[in-house]
Copies of this chain bind each other. A is one copy, B any other.
Amino acid sequence: MRGGIDLGGTKIQAVVVDARHRIRGQARLPTPRDGGPPAVASRMAEALRAAGENAQLRPGTLSAVGVGSPGEIEPGGIVGQARNLPDWDGSFALGPTLSREVGAPVVVGNDVQVATAAEFKLGAGKPYRSILGVFWGTGVGGGLVLDGHDWTGRGAAAEIGHVCIKVDGARCTCGRKGCMEAYAGRASMEARARRLAAKGDKTRLFEIAEKRGRDRLTAGIWWRAAQHGDQMALDLLDRAVEALGAGVASACNVIDPEAVVIGGGLGVRFGEEYVRRIEHAMMPHLFTSDRPPAIHPASLGDLGGALGASLLAAQADGRGRRRAPAA
């Protein structure tokens, strides 16, 4: 049995899987807002324990645990600059800390990369040898599997959210200008909706958020507003789709993958229809528009990140084994 934990800005999702990657137990807890990285590590251990109980597992029986984390992942399970997480500006030894708490080896990887690896091995990317994972959520993250192997470059590959689609364009939350994420990321979409509403433009977005007791515009709120035909929501979604078309096509022009798998909070919520709209928006920018890559919605949904993290654990687990020499 192995554990997998997807560490997000608002929630921590833990799974316990068997050797065949089947989920045997799971639990979800909110990411703590106070206490910084140590509190986050404790909550992660708690989520994993809950997933283990859900799987009716005796404590201490996990052979290894994988973590998908935002931020910069440094060797040894150190996580730096995870700005999505509360009070996580410096570096923190997440892997070693968590390992002590759970009593098993811990491997830490990039959240969107492990989610891409999960789609590659277990999800929509299974038929292919090379895929680009696109995670359309608060930001726009990406992951790459090339010829069956993760490609992470020097640790920051597939930062497709920061592909420049408009020189001197909109200001991104990262400070740069014209990034795809500045148009398509949920955070940027929300900021723009607030500016437009402050100017007096009409929208039901914030009314829906209030009804749901939310202080931010979640994917579900965008979805509901779009269902209601809210013009501002539809316009901002159109703008996001347009930006995703240009940015994802540009990434494909660099990589030429066999397939693109689109997930993330908004990607999962808006599903097939929007995946087709993004595909359509890619065509004017795609070098291989006469033979485009296959474009699929992610098939593992919300659990892709945690499942991908558990695949990392499988790697760690396998590292100690000797391979039989090839014939």
Interface presence of A69 (CB below 8 A): no
Complex Cα spacing A6 to B177, Å: 39
Q: Which residues of B contact A153 (CB under 8 A)?
A: 130, 255-257
Interface residues of A in 200-227 (CB under 8 A from B): none
Determine, out of A35-43, A56-64, A244-252, A268-276, the stretch whose residues face the partner at the interface. Answer: A244-252
Secondary structure call for the A interface: loop
A156, B256: Cβ atoms under 8 Å?
Answer: yes
A288, B167: Cβ atoms under 8 Å?
Answer: no
For A243, A247, A253, A256, the residue with the greatest tally of chain B CB atoms inside 10 Å of its CB is A253
Q: Which residues of B contact A144 (CB under 8 A)?
A: 254
Range of interface residues on chain A?
35 or more
This protein's copies in its complex: 2
Q: Which residues of B contact A253 (CB under 8 A)?
A: 156, 159-160, 162-163
Complex Cα spacing A243 to B242, Å: 21
Complex Cα spacing A95 to B291, Å: 24
Return A164 CB to nearest CB of chain B, in Å. Answer: 5
* Contact among B155, B165, B177, B254 with A254 in the assembled complex (CB-CB below 8 Å): B254
A254, B163: Cβ atoms under 8 Å?
Answer: yes
Complex Cα spacing A177 to B256, Å: 19
Return A188 CB to nearest CB of chain B, in Å. Answer: 15
Interface presence of A284 (CB below 8 A): yes
Q: Which residues of B contact A287 (CB under 8 A)?
A: 156, 159, 162, 174
Shortest beta-carbon contacts, A-B, top 7: A153-B256, A157-B256, A159-B287, A163-B250, A159-B253, A164-B246, A164-B285
